[in-house]
Chains A and B, each alone.
Chain A
Amino acid sequence: MNFKLKVWRQKGPNVAGQFVDYEARDIPADASFLEMLDIVNEGLIKRNEDQIAFDSDCREGICGMCSLVINGIAHGPGKAKTSCQLYMRRFKDGDTIWVEPFRAITFPVVRDLCTNRSALDRMIEAGGYITARTGSAPEANSIPIGKVVADLAMEAAACIGCGACVAACPNSSAMLFVSAKVSHLGLLPQGQPERTSRVVSMVRKMDELGFGNCTNHYECEAVCPSEISASFISRLNRDYARAATRQAAVLV
């Protein structure tokens, strides 16, 4: 298959970038999108041109490293997949494909299609954990957790931290990411002691970092490779108000 690519090239964080046209020729339909870029890159190197920088690691949809916006869609067309799991058979021969980095003020471009997403780590550091000192844990089966709750927590915990939600959100809001972590930990009995402080600190950090506000566009849910449901955002809104009233009540 052959494709016309329009790829965002940008040398570094503080220099201007632009779209550059490339031809991707003789691409097997079974190749993944990243393998297609590999092929293009090998061609570039042979012509002594700088390869297109893009992030990837596991290439099986779990590490959250790959981060392309393909034809305006974070992780490209199709439900519940990362860029690395997108296969070229999904495109038509001769298609023109636009490839861009994740865009958000909180994700500055590092080079070409790579961005710096460490803001996501900052939010976890702000409270996205359960304090469990190593070695002091009680016997695992001492607190039974109903399957329904455990499954729901797992569903929220499945977030791979790719940041596509932020990239897709017209407001660059990180609500889906934050809601997933807050819900995962907040649903479990082990997460209760820090439930109030966690949600307040994580939301505070999210705001301080400069993510936008959620206005319920649901783009995030649509592109999320882990199919994190936007109903976790609803839960987060609820949890946050609950926490805020508790904190206010303490003050009175």
Chain B
Amino acid sequence: MPAVTVSPVPARRFSPNPLVAFYQSSIGKKWVVALTGIVLIVYVLGHLAGNLQIYLGQDRINNYAEFLHNLGPLLWLIRLFLLACFVIHIVATIQLTIQNRQAKPQKYAVPGYQASTPASRTMIVSGLIVLCFVIYHLLQFTLELTHPGYRHLHDSLGRHDVYHMMIIAFRHLFISLFYVLGLFLLCTHLSHGFASVTQTLGINNRKIARVISAGGVTLAWLVFLGYVSIPLTILLGLVR
């Protein structure tokens, strides 16, 4: 059995500036995580809606992509905002996780969890894998560094052929599998995250708690199914 000694409680400092102090506090940080989480959720949902247009055919989705690209400076503003939220979300959650691990230096010999879920206990893991997923995803589809060939895909109207890009990509078994894995972890992340946001922002209460948590899990699985359908249908040759 591991020896246990009392390790000193790490000192936490607080700025005199109330805004900074708000972020430094546990609850303040949680608010930041939740608010950035909402932004990311909105993006995930919007992006899903966009991507599902693949089922409406090449024209629709390429058109959609073209529309986005034509937003110009606005697109960059949105991207910067998203990036900022993403980074802040990650920095804050990593800080929270470090503090939380310090607060519980020794776990129980037999775990006796009653209410938490594997999803809630592995947020940092699912989050970091989603991070890897997103990085790969950006390298692949947005920066097109992993597959420079994608850059040359154009449809008959001269638009960037997003439709075929996806089809070519997901015909690779490993790429598809990696997506399924990434999306699954996003799903577990959200299955806790959706309901969690309502609690953090103080809108949860005991009357709606059950509905919210069940709703959150359902929503997370819907997001999973929605996204995962794309690589799967392509892999199975249903969409080509």
Contact = CB atoms under 8 A, between A and B. Distances in A.
**Size range of the chain A interface in the assembly:** 35 or more
Nearest to B202: A238
Secondary structure of the B side of the interface?
loop
Contacts, number: 182
Contacts of A212: 26, 99-100, 102-104
B3 interface: yes
Interface string A180-204: 0000000000000000000000011
Interface of B: 1, 3-7, 9-12, 14, 18-19, 21-22, 24-31, 96, 99-100, 102-116, 120-121, 123, 192, 195-196, 198-206, 209
A12 B19 CA distance: 42
B204 A105 contact: no
Contacts of A209: 9
19 contacts: A17-B4, A105-B6, A105-B103, A210-B10, A210-B102, A214-B30, A215-B123, A216-B120, A219-B113, A222-B115, A229-B206, A231-B206, A234-B202, A237-B27, A237-B30, A238-B201, A239-B202, A244-B22, A244-B25
A230 B199 contact: yes
B113 A105 contact: no
Given A211-B103, A237-B199, 7 more contacts: A14-B6, A207-B12, A208-B11, A218-B115, A234-B203, A237-B31, A237-B200
Nearest to B121: A170
Interface in A61-96: 69, 71-74
Contact of B114 (A13, A15, A73, A239): A73
A162 B205 CA distance: 24
Contact of B108 (A103, A217, A234, A240): A103
Contacts of B100: 170-173, 212-213, 215
Contacts of B196: 215-216
A240 B200 CA distance: 11
Contact of B29 (A210, A213, A216): A213
A235 to B, nearest CB: 6
A76 to B, nearest CB: 9
Contacts of B7: 105
A3 interface: no
A81 to B, nearest CB: 13
A175 to B, nearest CB: 8
Interface of A: 6, 10, 13-19, 69, 71-74, 98, 100, 103-106, 108-109, 168-173, 175, 203-204, 206-219, 221-223, 229-231, 233-241, 244, 247-248, 251
Contacts of B22: 244, 248
B4 A206 contact: no
B4 A98 contact: no
Nearest to B105: A105
B103 A16 contact: no
Given A105-B104, A204-B25, A215-B123, A231 B5 contact: no
Contacts of B24: 207
Contact of B109 (A100, A211, A229): A100
Given A213-B100, A251-B18, A231 B3 contact: no
